[in-house]
Structure formats: C-alpha cells, structure tokens
Amino acid sequence: MNENNITSDPNQEEQEIDLLELASKLWEKRRTIIKWTLIGAVCGLVIAFSIPKEYTASVKLAPETSNSKTGSAGGLGALAAMAGISMGTGSSADAVYPELYPDVVSSIPFTVGLLNVKLDTKDGEETVQSILEDHTSSPWWTHIMGLPGTIIGGVKSLFSSKKEDEEDSIIDPYHLTAKQAALVESLNNCISANVDTKTSVVTISATMQDAVASAQLADTVMARLKEYVVDYRTGKARQDLEYAKKINDEARAEYYEAQKRYASAVDRNQGLSTRVASIDIDRLENESELAFNIYNNTAQQVKIAEAKVQETTPVFAVVQPATVPVRASKPSKPMILVGFMFLFFVASSAYILFAPSLIEGFKAHRNGDGSEKA
C-alpha cells in the first residue's frame, strides 16, 4: 500500500480537533445561547405585532396584441373598398407595448392622477391622498425616529403663510414640493404592475392597510391604465375622425348653399326661354351636383373614420378581477420570528467563540504598549 494513503494529514486532524473544540464550547454555553435565542424570539414577536397589517389585491389583465387585429382590419378594408376608399394596409409600430405598462403605472402624472380617487374604507369614503396622509399607521419606532422632523415641521407650520399651504394643496406634476414628492413615492410603493413576457399578461397589484380600499385601488389602476392605452391607440384615428367631420360639415353647407342658388335661379327664370337663363340654370345645377358628390364622399370618409376608431380601440380581457383580500399579505410574522431567532443565535454563538480571544488579544496589546512606554 502507498505510504501516502496510510499517513494521515496533520492539517486535517487539526481542523477536526478545532471543530470539535468549537462545538464543545457552544455546548458548554448552550444555556446562554438558548437564552439569547428566546430573547430574539421575544424581539421578533414585538416587531412582528408592531408592524401594521397590509392587504394586497391583484388584477390580471390580458391586452390585445397586434396580431389579433388582422381579421378586423381586413373586414374594414373590404368595406372601405366597396365604398371606393382605401384605408391602407401598412401597420405602424405600437410605442406603448405591454412591457412598458409598469413604467406608465409608476410615472408621476399617472400616480398624481390617482391621489384624488375616492375609496371606501372602514372610516367612510376617503380619497387616496387622505388615506395615505391621515389613515395610514406606522410602527412605533418610526414615530421615535421621526420625532425631530415632526418638531421641526411643527415649528415651520407656525411661521408658514397661507400661500405656502395653498401651494402644498395644489399638486403640479411638473413641479412637486418635498411633501408632495414623498406622497407620490408612498403611493408608488403601494401599486405595482408586472408583465409576463411569455404570455403578455399584466398583473396589477395594490397594497393598502384597508382590504376593501386595496381592491378598489387595484380596479382603479386597471381602469386608468386601460384608458391611457385606449387614448394612445385611438389618438390618431380620433383626430382623423374630427377632421373628417369638419370637412363633411363644410361640404354639407356648400351643398345646401348650391341647392339654394340652383332653386332660386329656376324660380326666377320660370317661363323664360332665353339662352342666358338656360346656361345659368345648367351651371348652377352642375355646381349643385358637384357639391353633392363632394358631400357624399366626405360622408363616406366620416363612416370610414368611425370604423377606424373602432378598429384601433384595443380590447382587454380581465383574466382575474380584483377581490377583497381575506388575509393580510404583510407582515410575515413567522419569517420575522425565525429571522430574529436565527440572528440572535448566530450573534450569541459568535460572541462565545470569538469574543474572549479578541478581548484577551486587545488586553495583551495594551499591556505590551504600556510596558514599552515604561
């Protein structure tokens, strides 16, 4: 047999001895470790029950993709072809695709628009802003840490003018005050939107300390997001429709005016057989027919523009509607309890293993420095 296999590694034996020594130290101080672990459990329970409950409501939304509009576009194109009007077959890229929905939801204008939304709470109907400012509780340690800021803010409020208070009440998304920016950030932390890249399903979540308010806020965010996307998708088509209606109104007015001129000429020259009168009547009749043709074409353009608005209006399928959550989503009391117990266990074990040697080394270092100086 090889001598290398028979001889044992001294480093390995030393490492095993060290591990056994460390384990024995921990076992000797097991009561101390258990005591500190129980203290960690108590701290974890205090922290867990001090954090207010929060409820999360979610909505799953499946937006319409560009491929699903092929059939409707072909049908409308056929109708337009029958009317003698081409709608065009080119497709334009959509700038607001589902992957950008989270950015839309977290944008400042979108968030500011939600502050005035009224929600039902246990205290009655309140706006989102009043819920965040007056009806949202926080742990006790945040009040202690924020006590200096509260005192400073109270002193400032005594010397603040009514004009400054009015400026704080009016929220301008372009220019937010420090208080308004903190409010917008707080609301941004309450709402979120996530997109599944494989299925394009959008999940909108709202977290509030009131279960009913969280469900209503999730529904409101979904409705506002749908409205935003619909306004973007149909913006060009609605502009075209307004322009087509304007041209149609002008063509109708010109057609009615041409009819009146033609009827007046016929009435004036009734019974006359002069060549000049006949030419005037023929000219006015041609103008009336031309005005009618223009009016008829513009009316068709209006119908096609209305169909275009309907075609470009996206359809959203609500896969999972918002429901009032039964259980709180935050805080996770078991996780907090286990985390604090583990933290205190590790801290007490580290103190037992390493603190005595560190303290002795520090004392020896100080004594050595003292002897050298002497």
Query: pLDDT (tens digit, 9 = 90+) per residue, 82-101?
Result: 444 444 444 444 667 788 89
Q: What's the pLDDT band for 228 if we cut at 50, 70, 90?
A: very high
Instruction: Assign 370 a pLDDT band (cuts: 50, 70, 90).
Output: low
246: CB partners within 8 A, 6+ apart: none
pLDDT at 206 over 50: yes
pLDDT digits (tens, 9 = 90+) for 150-181: 677 666 666 665 555 555 567 888 888 888 89
User: Would the pLDDT of 240 be above 80?
Assistant: yes
Express each pLDDT in 281-339 by its tens digit. Answer: 888 889 999 999 999 999 999 999 999 998 888 888 899 999 999 998 888 889 999 99
Question: What's the CA gap between 194 and 103, in Å, rounded?
Answer: 10
Q: Which one-letter DSSP state was computed for residue 371? A: H
Q: Give 139 or 169, the one with higher predicted confidence.
A: 139
The type of residue at 372 is E
Position 145 scores a pLDDT of: 77
pLDDT in tens, 252-266: 999 999 999 988 888
Q: How far is CA 256 from CA 251, 259, 277, 281, in A?
A: 9, 5, 21, 16
* C-alpha closest to that of 190 among 168, 224, 169, 215: 215
Mean pLDDT of the chain: 81
Show the DSSP H helices in the chain as ranges: 3-6, 10-28, 30-50, 70-82, 101-105, 108-114, 128-134, 140-145, 147-159, 162-169, 178-190, 211-268, 275-312, 333-373
Q: Where are the domains of the chain?
A: 26-51+331-363, 52-330
Sign of torsion over alpha carbons 38, 40, 46, 52: negative
pLDDT value of residue 166: 52
Check if the beta carbon of residue 36 is closer than 8 Å to that of residue 347: yes
Q: Which of 58, 192, 214 is nearest to 136 (CA)?
A: 214
pTM for the full predicted model: 0.70
Q: Is the pLDDT of residue 368 over 60?
A: yes
**With 50 as the cut, is the pLDDT of residue 221 above it?**
yes
**63 near 195, Cβ under 8 Å?**
no
The single-letter code of the amino acid at 167 is E
Portion of the chain with pLDDT greater than 90, in percent:
39
Could you tell me which residues come within 8 angstroms of residue 234 by beta carbon, excluding any fewer than 6 positions away? 309, 312, 313
pLDDT of 358 over the 90 cut: no
Q: What is the mean pLDDT of residues 221-226?
A: 93
Q: How confident is the model at residue 72 (pLDDT cuts 50, 70, 90)?
A: very low
Please report which confidence band the pLDDT of residue 55 belongs to, taking 50, 70 and 90 as the band edges.
very high
